[in-house]
Chain A
Amino acid sequence: EAQVTQNPRYLITVTGKKLTVTCSQNMNHEYMSWYRQDPGLGLRQIYYSMNVEVTDKGDVPEGYKVSRKEKRNFPLILESPSPNQTSLYFCASSLGLDSWGETQYFGPGTRLLVL
Chain B
Amino acid sequence: KQEVTQIPAALSVPEGENLVLNCSFTDSAIYNLQWFRQDPGKGLTSLLLIQSSQREQTSGRLNASLDKSSGRSTLYIAASQPGDSATYLCAVTFSGGYNKLIFGAGTRLAVHP
Per-residue A-contact encoding for B18-36, CB less than 8 Å = 1, 0 else: 0000000000000110101
From A40, A44, A94, A106, B99 is in contact (CB under 8 Å) with A94
Interface residues on chain B, size class: 20 to 34
Known: A42-B104, A48-B99, A94-B99. A106 touches B43 (CB 8 A): yes
Given contacts A42-B4, A42-B89, A43-B89, contact A104 B101 (CB under 8 A): yes
Q: Does B105 sit within 8 A of A, measured CB to CB?
A: yes
A81 at the interface (CB under 8 A from B): no
CA distance A40 to B89 in the complex (A): 12
Contact B43 A101 (CB under 8 A): no
Q: How far is the CB of A34 from chain B (nearest CB, A)?
A: 11
- Residues from chain B with a CB closer than 8 A to the CB of A94 are 99
A45 near B100 (CB under 8 angstroms)?
A: yes
Main secondary structure of the interface of B (DSSP, over half): strand
Chain B residue with Cβ nearest A91: B43
Of the A-B pairs whose beta carbons lie under 8 Å apart in the complex, a sample of 24, sorted by A's number, is A4-B43, A33-B100, A40-B105, A42-B102, A42-B104, A43-B91, A48-B100, A50-B98, A59-B100, A90-B43, A90-B44, A94-B99, A99-B98, A100-B31, A100-B32, A101-B93, A101-B99, A102-B99, A103-B49, A105-B46, A106-B36, A106-B45, A108-B41, A109-B41
Given known A45-B100, A48-B100, contact A103–B89 (CB-CB < 8 A): no
Interface membership of A58, Cβ < 8 A: yes
Residues of A within 8 A of B (CB): 4, 9, 31, 33, 35, 40-45, 48, 50, 58-59, 90, 92, 94, 96, 99-109
- Contacts from B to A (Cβ < 8 Å): 4, 31-32, 34, 36, 41-46, 49, 51, 89, 91, 93, 98-106
Question: Contact: B103 with A43, CB < 8 Å?
Answer: yes
Residues A104 and B46 in contact, CB atoms below 8 Å apart: yes
Known contacts: A90-B44, A108-B42. The answer to whether A100 contacts B93 by CB under 8 A is yes
Contacting residues, chain A, for B100 (C-beta < 8 A): 33, 45, 48, 58-59
Give the docked Cα–Cα distance between A44 and B102 (Å): 7
Q: Which residues of A contact B106 (CB under 8 A)?
A: 42
